[in-house]
Structure 1
Amino acid sequence: MANEPRPRCPICGKPPQPQTRPFCSPRCAQIDLGRWLSGDYAVPAEPARDEDEEGQD
């Protein structure tokens, strides 16, 4: 366990602070939030099918 890498801030790589974990600062937390809200991060998925298309298979 002693050789396990410690988690780092996902934005800048600095050690996280307890009050803003997993980030090192409120600034990095805001950067991450901005990326989510602007659509920079996305979960890959297939487009949803319409109900009309389902009955045609």
Structure 2
Amino acid sequence: MNCPICGNSTVPAVRPFCSKRCADRDLARWFNGSYAVPSTDPEDIDTLEDALEEAEREEQRQEKPH
């Protein structure tokens, strides 16, 4: 197995990395958002609230008999 940061062989003490330095570089990437998972949710809270209200209205329409 190779280190995901630099490609060198891994060391059991810091696996899956080759060194503490590469492990720290990986941790820094998590902290600065490099590994962030993209979201499909609206980023703007007002847009989110509007979407929730619309979903609630739609649910109420479906519950009423025609």
Instruction: Please tell me the residue identity of whatever aligns with 2:6.
Output: C
TM-score in terms of structure 1 length: 0.73
| Structure 2 portions without partners, runs of 5+ | 43-47, 59-66
Rg larger for: 2
Give the ranges of 4+ consecutive aligned residues of structure 1 lying more than 2 Å apart after TM superposition.
Answer: 48-54
User: CA separation of 1:10/1:53 partners in 2, compared to 1, >3 Å: closer, same or farther?
Assistant: farther
Q: What do you get for the CA RMSD once the two structures are aligned?
A: 1.8
Q: How far 1:44 sits from its partner (Å)? A: 3.0
Counterpart among 41, 44, 48 of residue 47 in structure 1: 41
TM-score in terms of structure 2 length: 0.64
Q: How far 1:53 sits from its partner (Å)? A: 4.5
| Structure 1 portions without partners, runs of 5+ | 1-6
Task: Name the structure 2 match of 1:17.
Answer: 11
How many residue pairs end up in the alignment?
51
User: CA separation of 1:55/1:36 partners in 2, compared to 1, >3 Å: closer, same or farther?
Assistant: same
Q: Which has the higher contact order (CA 8 A, sep 6+)?
A: 1
- Determine what percentage of the aligned residue pairs are the same residue: 47
